[in-house]
Amino acid sequence: MRDPVKSNLTIRVCMGTGGIAAGGVEVMAVFADRLAGRGIRADIRKHCSIHKVGCRGLCAKDVLVDVILNGDKTTYQFIKPDMVERIIEEHVVGGNPVLEWAVGEDYHQFHDKQVKVVLSDCGNINPEEIDSYISVGGYNALERVIKKMTPAETIALIKKSGLRGRGGAGFPTGVKWEICRSVEASRKYIICNADEGDPGAFMDRSVIEGNPHAVIEGMTVGASAIGADKGYVYIRAEYPLAVERLKNALKQARERSFLGKNILGSGFSFDIRIKLGAGAFVCGEETALIASIEGLRGMPRAKPPFPVHKGLWGQPTVINNVETLANIPYIIRNGAEWYASYGTEKSKGTKVFALTGKIRNSGLIEVPMGIPLREIIYDIGGGIENNRKIKAVQTGGPSGGCIPAELLDITVDFESLARVGSIVGSGGMVVLDETDCMVNIAKFFLQFTQSESCGKCVPCRIGTKRLLEILERVTEGKGRLGDIELLESLANDIKATSLCGLGQTAPNPVLSTIKYFRDEFEAHITKKKCPAGVCRDLLSFVVLKDFCKGCGACKRVCPAGAVTGERKQVHVIDPEVCVKCGACYDACKFKAIGKG
């Protein structure tokens, strides 16, 4: 065997779900194949290593490829298999990076204001190889905790860091562990909540895909602190790549004695099982999640008793979110003060958000708590697509609310978002512009929560249905006077009387849009107009006389035959026949169709 020579070429292909969807596997195969094909240059072939990298956040630009040649890194975006040849030819062989394909200014801006803790190793290490995680300090924290610290010291450290749960409610993690530790029981459990049911959220998936060992290490630390010998990862079956990587990581961790009996010879034993969820949003709620693991219908139950007192199989149980747990190893490695140096007084550390909507750079971002919302939108996000005007930012997904553009200067942390009627939640962040109808946005989220309600309690089961029906009639132009007040009154009753967090928060998107965009609701109801031009039933299409050239394009595309007119004459749309499909609007080259 020859000595492995230190590589002077590294190719890294983004292989998160985003990367794979964009063709990452093919791109990587072509790299491997073409590099091998040029095998004459044995030095290149031998020295190149190809990692499968986890998600690095900017999925909109996938497939992203890093080419690191003699220590200089160039990152390429939107790479397709047929582009590989030129990169190898010009960059790898010729030494000149293909600049026109390299990421631009916005890619760097996207990263500059971010602070990566949970995501720090995602994208840099090989999530399928435990040594890759160990080489960046992985499992140090576990070793320290079980060999040199008492459970009380571990809990004190986590409390001091100020870490609060990333699953939505923001409960202090150290306090949760402390309560569970203090309960006498023959058996305790720790559960990692990887259900991630919010539409549009994918941070937990990305963390498990990009750095599964951090989650395992965090769970094991937690288990030793509370005195659990068994853990579960509750993960939705729709995340096959994450499940596969997690399984692989669990196997590797067992082989290295980071899991199993007598971990690292310390006498502490702990193991983790994977429990696949069927993808019901409500199963992310902790008592429903427990019922689901126990083989029952995933339905919440009343608290108290809280899971820390009576959880899985009636035993004290800590449930933590993926991101919460993935923070743990970094906090122990770098110290509580280091973690607490990020964030605000009450919201410490960093938070991962899924930035989407009408924003230039969409993707996963990790920012220090307390960052101004404006910086997220304009510095990291690169501003609004097509230079349109921003209208609002929706945070917290279906449990959250809309923050209007006037409030863009607020900071992003648990307290300040709550003050304006929204939440951090699981970290969804959808940017809305002037072409978004706020009634429609509220309807969208209600559609989701209404269909995901478990049906156990009346206000959520029937109440959200009625809320949705009222919103539907408003967007259809059948809104009645008093509907806004009815929405508010019903929404408040649902919030106050629902059993679990789903029903208690489901009305938030409705209440916050009414609070800040009441005029839009009124326009729908009294003027029967949708100011954003979104609600089809409220639109009318007319031919603008002064612009019409009589080309007949609209007449040809209209599926309903609503357009009449002779060639070179001004055309007319019959509003009785028009089905408001908008085909004429799109077809007219002279912008002679008015929509409103």
Partner 1 sequence: MIHLTINGLPVSVPEGTTILDAARSADIPIPTLCHHPKLTPYGGCRLCIVEVKGINRPVTSCTTPVAADMEVATTTPAIEGMRKTILELILSDHPNDCMVCEKAGDCALQELAYFYGVRENRFDGERRCYAGKDRNPFIDRDMEKCILCGKCVRVCEEVQGVGAIDIAYRGFNAKICPPFEKDLSCEFCGQCVSVCPTGALTGKAWTQRGRQKDIKEVDTICPYCGCGCGITLHVRRNEIVRVSSREETINEGWLCPKGRFGYTFVNSPERLHVPLIKEKGVFREAGWDEAMSLIVSKLGKIKKKYGPDAIGGLASARCTNEENYLFQKFMRAVIGTNNIDHCARL
Ligand X SMILES: Cc1cc2nc3c(=O)[nH]c(=O)nc-3n(C[C@H](O)[C@H](O)[C@H](O)COP(=O)(O)O)c2cc1C
Query: What is the contact mask toward ligand X in residues 192 to 231, using x (rule: CB under 6 A)?
Result: -x-xxx----------------------------------
Binding region for partner 1 (CB under 8 A): 280, 282, 297, 299, 301-302, 304, 450-466, 469, 486, 489-490, 493, 496-499, 504
Taking the C-alpha atoms of residue 26 and residue 81, their distance in angstroms, rounded to an integer, is 6
Taking the C-alpha atoms of residue 584 and residue 226, their distance in angstroms, rounded to an integer, is 65
Considering only residues 312 to 341 of the shown chain, the ones binding ligand X according to CB under 6 A are 319-321, 324
- C-beta of 299: minimal distance to partner 1 in Å? 8
Using CA of residue 98, residue 104, residue 109, residue 115, what is the dihedral sign? Answer: negative
- Which H or E run includes 213? helix 212-226
Residue 465 touches which member of ligand X, ligand SF4, partner 1, none, C-beta under 5-8 Å by kind: partner 1
Taking the C-alpha atoms of residue 5 and residue 25, their distance in angstroms, rounded to an integer, is 26
**187 token code pair:** 């058996």
Query: What is the contact mask toward ligand SF4 in residues 411 to 450, using x (rule: CB under 6 A)?
Result: ----------------------------------------
Cβ closer to ligand SF4: 220 or 498? 498
165 touches ligand X (CB under 6 A): yes
- C-beta of 526: minimal distance to ligand X in Å? 35
Burial class, 266, CB count within 10 angstroms (exposed 0-12 / middle 13-18 / buried 19+):
middle
- C-beta of 494: minimal distance to partner 1 in Å? 9
Residue 490 touches which member of ligand X, partner 1, ligand SF4, none, C-beta under 5-8 Å by kind: partner 1
Listing DSSP states for 145-167 in one string gives HHHH--HHHHHHHHHHHT-B-SS
Contact yes or no for 531/539 (Cβ under 8 A): no
Cβ closer to partner 1: 114 or 453? 453
Cβ closer to ligand X: 366 or 520? 366
490 touches ligand SF4 (CB under 6 A): no
| Size of site (CB under 6 A) for ligand SF4 | 14
Q: From 278, 214, 204, 216, select the one nearest 241 (Cα to Cα).
A: 204
* Interface segment toward ligand SF4; rule CB under 6 A; list 61-69, 104-112, 146-154, 454-462: 454-462
Cβ closer to ligand SF4: 321 or 453? 453
Cβ closer to ligand SF4: 218 or 459? 459
**368 token code pair:** 């220090």
- C-beta of 446: minimal distance to partner 1 in Å? 11
Strand partners, 123: none
Residue 193 touches which member of partner 1, ligand SF4, ligand X, none, C-beta under 5-8 Å by kind: ligand X
Strand partners, 541: 595
Taking the C-alpha atoms of residue 311 and residue 189, their distance in angstroms, rounded to an integer, is 8
Cβ closer to partner 1: 279 or 335? 279
Burial class, 76, CB count within 10 angstroms (exposed 0-12 / middle 13-18 / buried 19+):
buried
Burial class, 155, CB count within 10 angstroms (exposed 0-12 / middle 13-18 / buried 19+):
buried
Phi, psi of 172 (to 5 degrees): -60, 120
Between the alpha carbon of residue 23 and those of residues 34, 61, 78, the distances in Å are: 16, 12, 10
Cβ closer to ligand SF4: 293 or 457? 457
Tell which one of 92, 500, 553, 583 touches ligand X (CB under 6 A). Answer: 500
Residues near ligand X (CB under 6 A):
165-169, 171, 193, 195-197, 281-282, 284-286, 319-321, 324, 500-502
Residues at the interface with ligand SF4 (CB under 6 A): 282, 300, 453-457, 460-461, 498-500, 502-503
